[in-house]
Amino acid sequence: MITPDYIERSNRKTLSLAVMKDGNVVVKAPLNMEDSVIKRFVWDKQGWIKDKLFMINQTKSKFEDIINYKKFLLYGNRYTLLLSDVKKIETNDNFQIVLPKKVEREKILKTLKLWYKKVAKQVLQDRLAFIENKIKLKSSIMKITDSKGRWGSCNSRGVVCFNWRVVMLSPAIIDYVIIHELCHLVEMNHSKHFWELVNSFLPNTPKLKEELREYGFLLNLFNEE
């Protein structure tokens, strides 16, 4: 039996179970609930827990080089890192991100993060303008964020925000994230009508949505800086 790594007790009235991105199994329970009740609850969820852990381990295996900063994603492609005699960061046709030799080893991730943010601002501004013109939905302001939990957001004032890590994704998924947020200008929820609207612009929305879910681990990258 898979047992919880943590049991968090509080004044809540119900039990809940979550498998975190790091693989930890967490149960949230009422303060006075008996351990036997919690154990039975976890036992009943064994199949679900195993499925979640399998997906996490599969992602770790598939993207081990990305998670360990051996390679870096850009537009869905894996890039290796190269230190060379360049004045500023650039990419080449060999799928390399080339950094100036003067960058200190301990500052490479911080330097890359700043570069990613600059790339994201330019790329997302350009792509947002193109898509807005195409689907006739217009935001008021675009912002680049460093959110640890979401790819994007949109508020009632028409402000759309995108996580800078979006540029790590493939062009098709980048467009999906942008269109998703622009559709919130019409529907500020995830109702049936919202998804029908997204799907009217992107008929392969279910596939893109599923692909994006696989890349959720990217939101934890570069958090050390």
**Residue ranges of domains in the chain:** 6-62, 111-220
**What digits encode the pLDDT tens for the residues 80-91?**
999 999 999 999
84 CB-near residues (< 8 Å, 6+ apart): 98, 99, 100, 101
Residue 193 pLDDT level (bands cut at 50, 70, 90): very high
Please name the CATH architecture into which domain 111-220 falls: 2-Layer Sandwich (3.30)
**For residue 15, what pLDDT is reported?**
94
Q: Is the dihedral of CA 6, 9, 12, 15 positive or negative?
A: positive
Give the amino acid at 57: N
